[in-house]
Amino acid sequence: MRQTSLSALILATTVICVSPNASATATQRPTRRPHVPPTLLTVPEGTRLLVVAPHPDDEVLGAGGLMQRVHETGGTVRVVYLTNGEGYPEGVEAEEHGGKTPTPDDFRGYGRRRRHEARTAVEALALGDYKSTFLCFPDGGLCKLMRSYWSERRVAYRSPYTRLDRPPLAERLVPATEFRGEDLTQELAQIIGDFRPTLIVVPRKEDQHSDHCAAWFFLADALAAVRRVQPDYSVDVLNYIVHFYSWPFEKDGPTLDPPPHLSSGPSGWLTLPLTPDEERAKRQALRRYQTQMHVMSWFLDGFAKSNEVFSKPASIDVVLPVRRDLCDEP
């Protein structure tokens, strides 16, 4: 499908984000920032929260506590998963127990399993009439959609894992959706336009997983699309971060401190202290991601702390597609 208003190629930003495989060496690490205590994040009553998760588990890692707080203060929570998290060969091989090379069916099955885990994980947070949506876009391929597979001018992107080039029909919000950048923007815009969240949380563009970086740009582009038809719509946007060098494992302890080498942005860092019950539920939710606990429990446990940290973006003025890569891919 084609979106005429986004058809011009516009280089909107020079921000570069890197993948987790892209030489995250100590020599390239940014300078440590002066420590400024985070500001307490307060959650207004009746908040309508949309959590954008590139993969199943990111919603709990980044905002498992915030989702509970929104529900406890009379709000509504919705999660949109951009991918099923299926493009993880090491995880698929670990599940197969035989060391054989995974087939496209294995990757699709792994994605279905992660979706099931997502449902059981969020149930552990007891969010009432919570709703989730799986867009089923290609894990590991989101950055490519921003530049190389934007529109109908070329064939849709085909996942090297599942060999699919579009979401299953039953999962498409827009029937003609294929693995193209403008299609992902439109699906996100439809969710935002229908739900009209008052708060959106999405990964920061500096997140070093290329799908996480891309999630930020697609969210910003979708917000612009919504505002073209609903000019009075406004929303607060918060960023969370999951992959950034060795954070948060440089420092042990009960709290989650902001990454010391990353700018807090104009808002300064924001922290949401969790109650013991919220922290316990977040930990239980993470444990329901059994496929991920199987291969990287240490990573998930690193986010099960007594608080969560967020920041606000400096600007959400992004127009896709772009001429050059915003995310360095493996």
Q: Which amino acid is at 273?
A: P
- The Cα 278–Cα 66 span in angstroms is 9
24 vs 295: CA distance, rounded Å: 21
Using CB positions, name the residue nearest to Zn ion.
55
| CA–CA dist 304, 302 (Å, integer) | 6
Site string for Zn ion, 9-48 (x = CB under 5 A): ----------------------------------------
Would you say 285 and 64 are in contact if contact means Cβ atoms under 8 Å apart?
yes
Residue 96 CB, shortest distance to Zn ion, in Å, is 22
Answer positive or negative: Cα dihedral of 224, 230, 235, 241: negative
Where would I find the H helices in 208-287?
210-229, 276-287
Beta-bridge partner residues of 270: 39, 310
Looking at the Cβ atoms of 54 and 259, the one nearer to Zn ion is 54
**Nearest CA among 149, 223, 165, 161 for reference residue 190:** 223
Stretch that binds Zn ion, among 51-59, 116-124, 146-154, 172-180 (CB under 5 A): 51-59
- Of 38, 54, 111, 138, which one interacts with Zn ion (CB under 5 A)? 54
Taking a C-beta distance cutoff of 8 angstroms, is the pair 214, 143 a contact? yes
Nearer Cβ to Zn ion (55/69): 55
Question: Are the beta carbons of 92 and 167 closer than 8 angstroms?
Answer: no
Segment interacting with Zn ion, rule: CB under 5 A, options 28-36, 55-63, 139-147, 183-191: 55-63
Spatial contact of 300 and 289, defined as CB atoms under 8 Å apart: yes
Min dist. Cβ of residue 54 to Zn ion (A): 5
204 is a contact residue toward Zn ion (CB under 5 A) = no
Nearer to Zn ion, 71 or 209 (CB): 209
Q: Which of 43, 49, 50, 58 binds Zn ion (CB under 5 A)?
A: 58
- How far is the C-alpha of 111 from the C-alpha of 195, rounded, in Å? 26
Q: How far is the CB of 82 from Zn ion (least distance, A)?
A: 9
Part in contact with Zn ion (CB under 5 A); list of ranges 38-46, 52-60, 103-111, 176-184 = 52-60
- Binder among 17, 43, 47, 55 for Zn ion (CB under 5 A): 55
Cβ-based nearer residue to Zn ion, 38 or 85: 85
| Shortest spacing between CB 212 and Zn ion, in angstroms | 6
Residues that bind Zn ion (CB under 5 A): 54-55, 58
